[in-house]
Amino acid sequence: MILVTGGAGYIGSVTTELLRALGENVVILDNLDRGHREAIPRGVRFYEGSIGDRDLLARIAREHRLEACIHFAALAYVGESVADPARYFNNNVEQGIALLDSLLKAGVRQLVFSSTCATYGEPQQVPISEDHPQNPTNPYGWSKLIMERIMESYDIAYGLRFIALRYFNAAGATTERGELHDPEPHLIPNVVAAAQQQIPAVSVFGDDYPTPDGTAIRDYIHVADLGTAHILALDHLRKGGQSDRFNLGNGQGYSVMEVIETARQVTQLPIPVQVEQRRAGDPSRLVADAAKARNLLGWRPAFPDLASIIRTDWEWRKVKRNTNRSEVTPITTD
Our CA dihedral for 17, 23, 24, 29, rounded to 10 degrees, sits at: 40
Is 167 a residue of the active site?
no
Contact 119, 172 (CB under 8 A): no
pLDDT of residue 320: 59
Catalytic one of 10, 47, 140, 254: 140
Query: What is the pTM (predicted TM-score) of this model?
Result: 0.91
Q: Cα-flanking dihedrals φ and ψ of residue 29, to 5°? A: -120, 125
Q: What is the pLDDT of residues 21-60, one digit of tens each?
A: 999 999 999 999 999 999 999 999 999 999 999 999 999 9
Give residue 115's identity as a one-letter amino acid code. Answer: S
**d(Cα 10, Cα 318) in Å, to the nearest integer?**
17
**d(Cα 6, Cα 51) in Å, to the nearest integer?**
9
**d(Cα 109, Cα 103) in Å, to the nearest integer?**
7
Q: Cα-flanking dihedrals φ and ψ of residue 169, to 5°? A: -100, 110
pLDDT of residue 333: 34
Q: What is the pLDDT of residues 268-293, one digit of tens each?
A: 999 999 999 998 778 888 899 999 99
**d(Cα 115, Cα 152) in Å, to the nearest integer?**
13
Contact 41, 14 (CB under 8 A): no
Measure Cα distances from 218 to 102, 259, 297 in Å: 36, 9, 23
